[in-house]
Amino acid sequence: MARDAWYKDMNFYQIWIRSFKDGNGDGIGDLMGVYEKLDYIKSLGMDGIWFSPIYASPNEDFGYDISDYYSIHPDYGTMDDFDKVLQAAHAKGLKIIMDLVINHTSDKHPWFIESCKGKDNPYHDYYIWRPSRKKNKRPNNWDSLFEGKAWEYNTQTGEYYLHLFSKGQPDLNHANPKVREEIKKIMRFWLDKGVDGFREDVITFISKPDTFVNDYKMPAVKGLFEYSFGPHLLEYLTEYRQVALEYDCFLLGETPIMAPNRALSLIAEGEGQVLDMMFHFQHMQADCFMTDFIQRPFRLKKMKRAFSTWQNALEGKAWNTLYLENHDHSRIISRYGDEFYHTESGKMLAAMYLLQKGTAFVYQGQEIGMTNVYLENIEDYRDIQLKNAFEIGRKLIGRVKALEYARKSSRGSARTPVHWNNERNAGFTEGTPWFDVNPNYAKINIADQMQNTNSLWHFYRKLLAYRKKPVIRYGTYTEMNPKDRKIYMYERKYENTSVLVICSFSKLSRKYKLPSSYHEGSSEIVFNNYETVSHDKLSPYQVLVIEKTTSV
């Protein structure tokens, strides 16, 4: 296990660059903006940055549709700017992880343009083409996750191409060895530059079944279980893993619909391991069904069960990631917390996940508790996924309800510009911001929170520092009272140190029982989001973290 150590207690900051910080006044976040803020990121207690895609892209899905894997999108700067950021980051002790989007490219990628030209074209087999089933019928009944059906007709070849996401995101054919060579070349290009790893986008979708039959099992999202964890997934991932092993880097897979048992076949440490960690989605589904769009009342028990299942299943075998936000989900205080108890619930949620075992990820703006944005029209959210979900939703549940669901779940809420201060455009740009700034920036911004030592920002900073303790990195995890509907309590233990984390998810004050071993004199409250503490009652959204050392 020689190569697994360095990332295990790391704290990563995720940058979705377009909305992070504008460095040249054109209203769009960019690499110079990132360069300016490296010290900021470091001062928060980060050890690394994960960049959502910054490559050339027509931006139909904001960078998750790549048209050139070897160049930086001109909106964000040049390759020189990237090299400058990489070097400066490394000099400050910050690792850099890139997004590797290889399930699909953009339809503007030269490979795809060639691929469309004819069946004899050398790039034709880079994508997944099938003839029609019957006259004018798609090859099968699969749905696209972003846009209508999963097959799109091409007049030049008289065939259909597969796109699990939007029409502008054709799926690459990993069954073609040439495609796999291209991918390894891309990986080596960035690793040779010195990047420290990749987050592999929807990586469990890359192997498609050998035959494309109709899916009659799924009422919606037809095909999902056919292309998730496809027959050759392990083979392909093993090949990509070989490249990673040539470097001291790590691979983190984004893995939708993933449960721990199956996860272990990819991330269990030792022989056959193909990923170092993964982003699964289970704890993000405590207030929705299948996708964020289909909402249900938040159920704490569901969230706790997800966290505990993963913590327990991976113990001693594999490594967890810890996250509550990213560019694909609306803001966590607006979801699992409470905007009215902004700071309280923000602090509680932060401690709740950051003190578990795993590598931590914080998404830009999460450290100050940015909240969801309420925009008038669906189009205003500029989110291709939402457009599709809304169209389906409108037919099923009507426009009014669908609009409500859309506003609550849109990824757009995670993508509004970061609030740097309470000045014009929240200090994000001197120009006109490319996307709406959340109007609450005067109340919620980084400059104010850095000034105020009681702020959510400082709470994050202390937690990120506290994560370096051996008990957080190595300690066991035990959940207490899993049946409690309002309180999440767990204990971490390592050698003679125990840490008890008590989180109330209640809007009202709530009775609880402090385990008697924590009544003794040797315990110390290390985190509390209120001034007061009671042994039998928690204030709304109170979090208490109690550390205890027993002499040995």
Stretch that binds Ca ion, among 19-27, 57-65, 408-416, 474-482 (CB under 5 A): 19-27
**Shortest distance, CB of residue 428 to Ca ion, whole angstroms?**
10
Q: Where are the beta strands (DSSP E) in 258-310?
A: 277-279, 288-289, 291-295
Residue 201 annotated among the catalytic residues of the structure: yes
Name the binder of 328 from ligand GLC, Ca ion, none, CB < 5-8 A by kind: ligand GLC
The residue range among 17-25, 137-145, 355-363, 502-510 that interacts with Ca ion, by the rule CB under 5 A, is: 17-25
Best CA proximity match to 470, nearest among 346, 357, 312, 334: 357
Q: Based on CB atoms, which residue is closest to ligand GLC, 370 or 546?
A: 370
Q: What single-letter amino acid sits at 64?
A: Y
- Comparing every residue's Cβ against ligand GLC, the nearest one is 64
Q: Which does 22 bind (CB under 5 to 8 A by kind): Ca ion, ligand GLC, none?
A: Ca ion
Strand 497-504 and strand 543-549: the pairing is antiparallel
Out of 10, 28, 206, 352, which residue is the one contacting Ca ion (CB under 5 A)?
Answer: 28
Considering only the stretches 14-22, 34-42, 79-87, 507-515, report the one whose residues sit in contact with Ca ion under the rule CB under 5 A: 14-22
Closest distance of CB 357 from ligand GLC, Å:
24
Q: Which does 421 bind (CB under 5 to 8 A by kind): ligand GLC, Ca ion, none?
A: none
From ligand GLC, Ca ion, none, which one binds at residue 101 (CB under 5 to 8 Å depending on kind)? ligand GLC
Q: Does 125 bind Ca ion (CB under 5 A)?
A: no
Q: Which stretches of the chain bind ligand GLC, using CB under 6 A?
A: 61, 64, 101, 165, 201-202, 254, 327-328
Selected range binding Ca ion among 27-35, 219-227, 383-391, 395-403, rule: CB under 5 A: 27-35
Shorter beta-carbon distance to ligand GLC: residue 65 or 226: 65
Closest contact distance (angstroms) between CB of 230 and ligand GLC is: 16
Distance CA 306, CA 2 (A): 30
Q: Which residues of 182-221 are buried (b: 16+ CB within 10 A; e: fewer)?
A: bbbebbeebbeeebbbbbbbbbbbbbbeeebeebeeeeeb
Angle between helices 260-267 and 233-245 (to 10 degrees): 40
State the CB neighbour count (10 A cutoff) for residue 159.
20
C-alpha–C-alpha distance, residues 65 and 57, integer Å: 6
Quote the least distance from Cβ 412 to Ca ion, whole Å: 20
Strand segments (E) across 481-518: 487-494, 497-504, 510-511
Q: Residue from 24, 214, 421, 497 that binds Ca ion (CB under 5 A)?
A: 24
**Binding to Ca ion by residue 22, rule CB under 5 A?**
yes
- In 3D, which of 379, 342, 370, 332 has the Cα closest to residue 19? 370
Q: How far apart are CB 23 and Ca ion at their closest, in Å? A: 6
Give the residue with the Cβ less far from ligand GLC, 292 or 338.
292
How big, in percent rounded to 5, are the helix, strand and coil portions of the chain? 35, 20, 45
- Do 316 and 292 form a contact (C-beta atoms < 8 A)? no
Q: Which of 30, 200, 276, 479 binds Ca ion (CB under 5 A)?
A: 30
- In the set 200, 201, 367, 547, the catalytic residue is 201
- In angstroms, the CA 242 to CA 552 distance is 45
- Both tokens of 387, joined, read 């457009």
Q: Of these partners, ligand GLC, Ca ion, none, which one is at the site of residue 464 (CB under 5 to 8 Å by kind)?
A: none
Q: How far apart are CA 23 and CA 8, in angstroms?
A: 32
Tell me which of ligand GLC, Ca ion, none is bound by residue 24, counting a contact when its beta carbon lies within the kind-specific cut-off of 5 to 8 angstroms: Ca ion
Q: 384: Cβ–Cβ under 8 A, 6 or more apart, which residues?
A: 60, 61, 146, 147, 166
Give how many residues touch Ca ion by CB under 5 A.
Answer: 5
202 binds, among Ca ion, ligand GLC, none (CB under 5 to 8 A by kind): ligand GLC
As measured in angstroms, the least distance from the Cβ of 51 to ligand GLC is: 12
Give the CA distances from residue 509 to residues 117, 351, 481, 488, 534, in Å, rounded to whole numbers and listed in that order.
Answer: 66, 19, 18, 14, 11
Least CB distance to ligand GLC at residue 229 (A): 16
Residue 280 is given by DSSP the state -
- Active site residue: 254, 287, 328, 479, which one? 254
26 binds, among Ca ion, ligand GLC, none (CB under 5 to 8 A by kind): Ca ion
- Contact residues for Ca ion, defined by CB under 5 A: 22, 24, 26, 28, 30
Annotated active-site positions, please?
Answer: 201, 254
